[in-house]
């Protein structure tokens, strides 16, 4: 669906298999990576998807198992992504040919050759680890350059629009969203701070400043009392929330502890309210699975009003927020809600050879879309598993999850200090 080498589901599920103790399946997957993973595939591949699913999957497989194979493949693949950054601003283009040409270009559907915020803004965690593992500073330099440009550029009302020109470095359109096209940019700000053992102050400040703008401009309360994140189109609100935006309950929850102390409870409440709204979008459907997008206008409250928004493609975001909120509060309702999702998945999505998305969450005469996205194995099932596990399995004290639920270790302050001293000695 997004180009890239064959085997997305295998790579995306390596860590899931490993933490679940599915040894035989994990060994099969490892052998496949060893013998059959071909990183030289020609054709178009999404820089973002290859990074979050393949690089992220290989990195976490390496960190969990210590197998050099995964580290080598991650670095080999990372190198192949670098040509996408050869633009006048260093903002990468969205599509890359992983074959020998290394050419890159922008998505045909993105206006005026622009790059997408959630795509170029969701590289930081993996690229910092690529530098760690390869001792090559280039990866970190590339993502720090993106950050520098974003810090410098003017933001309308403090918001980050979804489209930016990699040529001029200017915003191309004023569409802002915490869902698709914007989502994981915000996630990677707070997670960059957490993954740096809370030393990356710049990421932290940027995150909280962005959160303030989001609260001031996008967070809304419906007539029925549901809190939601609307989308912003040049100052006009679209009262729609995508399933993708439901990750924000978890993100706001994990960010609650590190902002201004007087705002801690406020952020925890906001995280709980958003997660509640997302649960409502599931609960108000016939299948108890949520639609791709739900609305809060024309009398609708957390339901899809358009036929084209009624599908569910095994996405993880709502369950992801249940998992984070469970770990942060231990309120049993999050496990109850997770279990409702398990039952609905079993009932409506299980098919003979796996699980399938469904075309309409509001009908019991289920129509399957015949597709099991790789993130179902990487994220949806992993978050469910963690929701019902003890908190010390991939503890938040030690791990940060990339946007595809691949755990990456926190880089300890002491290592960062050693690196800084090394850099200084080299430059002297």
- Given a contact cutoff of 8 angstroms between Cβ atoms, the answer to whether 199 and 413 are in contact is yes
> Which single residue brings its beta carbon nearest to ligand DMJ?
403
Could you confirm whether 317 is annotated as catalytic? yes
* Contact call for residue 231 and ligand DMJ (CB under 6 A): no
Closer residue to ligand DMJ in complex, CB, 89/287: 287
- Virtual torsion, Cα 56, 61, 63, 69, nearest 10 deg: -110
Tell which one of 104, 177, 184, 206 touches ligand DMJ (CB under 6 A): 184
Name the region of 303 (left: φ>0; alpha: ψ -120 to 50; beta: rest): beta
Active-site choice (183, 231, 273, 280): 183
- Shortest CB 403 distance to ligand DMJ, Å: 4
- Given a contact cutoff of 8 angstroms between Cβ atoms, the answer to whether 94 and 38 are in contact is no
Tell which one of 60, 162, 227, 403 touches ligand DMJ (CB under 6 A): 403
Closer residue to ligand DMJ in complex, CB, 67/379: 379
Closer residue to ligand DMJ in complex, CB, 316/407: 316
Tell which one of 200, 273, 360, 404 touches ligand DMJ (CB under 6 A): 404
Is 403 annotated as ligand-binding?
A: yes
Query: Can you read off the two tokens belonging to residue 159?
Result: 């918001």
Listed residue (228, 226, 186, 227) closest to 209, CA to CA:
186
Active-site choice (126, 292, 379, 404): 292
Closer residue to ligand DMJ in complex, CB, 296/375: 375
Q: Exposure of 75 by Cβ count < 10 A (0-12 exposed, 13-18 middle, 19+ buried)?
A: buried
- Shortest CB 261 distance to ligand DMJ, Å: 30
- 351-390: contacts with ligand DMJ (CB under 6 A): 375, 379
- Shortest CB 44 distance to ligand DMJ, Å: 17
Active-site choice (12, 15, 49, 320): 49
* Contact call for residue 315 and ligand DMJ (CB under 6 A): yes
Closer residue to ligand DMJ in complex, CB, 59/89: 59
Closer residue to ligand DMJ in complex, CB, 360/404: 404
- Shortest CB 373 distance to ligand DMJ, Å: 7
Could you confirm whether 49 is annotated as catalytic? yes
Could you confirm whether 183 is annotated as catalytic? yes
- 49-68: contacts with ligand DMJ (CB under 6 A): 52
The string of DSSP letters for 337-385 reads: HHHHHHHHIIIIIEETTEE--BS-TT-SS--B-S---HHIIIIIHHHHH
Q: What does the angle CA 30 – CA 36 – CA 38 come to, to the nearest 5 degrees?
A: 115
Q: List all residues 6 or more positions away from 304 whose beta carbon is below 8 Å from its beta carbon.
A: 291, 292, 293, 294, 295, 310, 361, 362
* Contact call for residue 281 and ligand DMJ (CB under 6 A): no
3-state secondary structure of 165: coil
Task: Give exposure, 24-62, as e/b (b: 16+ Cβ within 10 Å).
Answer: ebbeebbeebeeebeeeeeebbbbbbbbbbbbbbbbbbb
Active-site choice (317, 320, 379, 404): 317
Q: List all residues 6 or more positions away from 152 whose beta carbon is below 8 Å from its beta carbon.
A: none
- Given a contact cutoff of 8 angstroms between Cβ atoms, the answer to whether 292 and 242 are in contact is yes
Q: List all residues 6 or more positions away from 213 whose beta carbon is below 8 Å from its beta carbon.
A: 155, 157, 158, 159
- Residues near ligand DMJ (CB under 6 A) are 52, 183-184, 244, 315-316, 375, 379, 403-404
- Residues making up the binding site for Ca(2+): 403
Q: Which positions are annotated as active-site residues?
A: 49, 183, 292, 317
């Amino acid at each position: 669906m997004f180009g890239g080498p064959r085997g997305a589901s295998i790579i995306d599920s390596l860590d899931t298999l490993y933490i679940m103790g599915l040894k035989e399946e994990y060994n099969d997957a490892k052998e496949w990576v060893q013998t059959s993973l071909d990183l030289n595939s020609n054709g178009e591949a999404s820089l973002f998807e290859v990074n979050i699913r393949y690089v992220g999957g290989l990195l976490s497989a390496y960190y969990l198992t210590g197998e050099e194979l995964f580290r080598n493949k991650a670095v080999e693949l990372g190198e192949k992504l670098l040509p996408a950054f050869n633009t006048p601003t260093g903002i990468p283009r969205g599509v890359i040919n992983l074959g020998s040409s290394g050419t890159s270009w922008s998505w045909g559907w993105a206006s005026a050759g622009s790059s997408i915020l959630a795509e170029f803004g969701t590289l930081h965690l993996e690229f910092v680890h690529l530098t760690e593992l390869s001792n090559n500073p280039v990866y970190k330099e590339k993502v720090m350059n993106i950050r520098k440009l974003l810090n410098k550029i003017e933001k309308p009302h403090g918001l980050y629009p979804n489209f930016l020109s990699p040529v001029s470095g200017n915003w191309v359109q004023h569409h802002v969203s915490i869902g698709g096209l914007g989502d994981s940019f915000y996630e990677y700000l707070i997670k960059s701070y957490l993954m740096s053992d809370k030393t990356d102050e710049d990421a932290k400040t940027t995150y909280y400043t962005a959160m303030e703008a989001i609260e001031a401009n996008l967070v809304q309360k419906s007539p029925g009392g549901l809190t939601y994140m609307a989308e912003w189109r040049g100052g006009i609100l679209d009262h729609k929330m995508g399933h993708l935006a439901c990750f924000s309950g978890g993100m706001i929850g994990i960010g609650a502890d590190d902002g201004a102390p007087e705002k801690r409870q406020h952020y925890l409440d906001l995280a709980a309210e958003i997660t509640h709204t997302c649960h409502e979008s599931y609960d108000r459907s016939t299948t108890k699975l949520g639609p791709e997008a739900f609305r809060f206008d024309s009398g609708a409250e957390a339901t899809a009003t358009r036929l084209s928004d009624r599908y569910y493609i095994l996405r993880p975001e709502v369950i992801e927020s249940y998992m984070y909120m469970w770990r942060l509060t231990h309120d049993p309702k999050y496990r109850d809600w997770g279990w409702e999702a398990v039952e609905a998945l079993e009932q409506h999505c299980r098919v003979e050879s796996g699980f399938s998305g469904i075309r309409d969450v509001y009908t019991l005469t289920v129509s399957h879309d015949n597709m099991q996205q790789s993130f179902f194995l990487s994220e949806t099932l992993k978050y469910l598993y963690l929701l019902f596990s003890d908190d010390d399995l991939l503890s938040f004290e030690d791990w940060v999850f990339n946007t595809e639920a691949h755990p990456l270790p926190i880089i300890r302050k002491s290592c960062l200090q050693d690196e800084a001293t090394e850099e200084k000695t080299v430059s002297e």
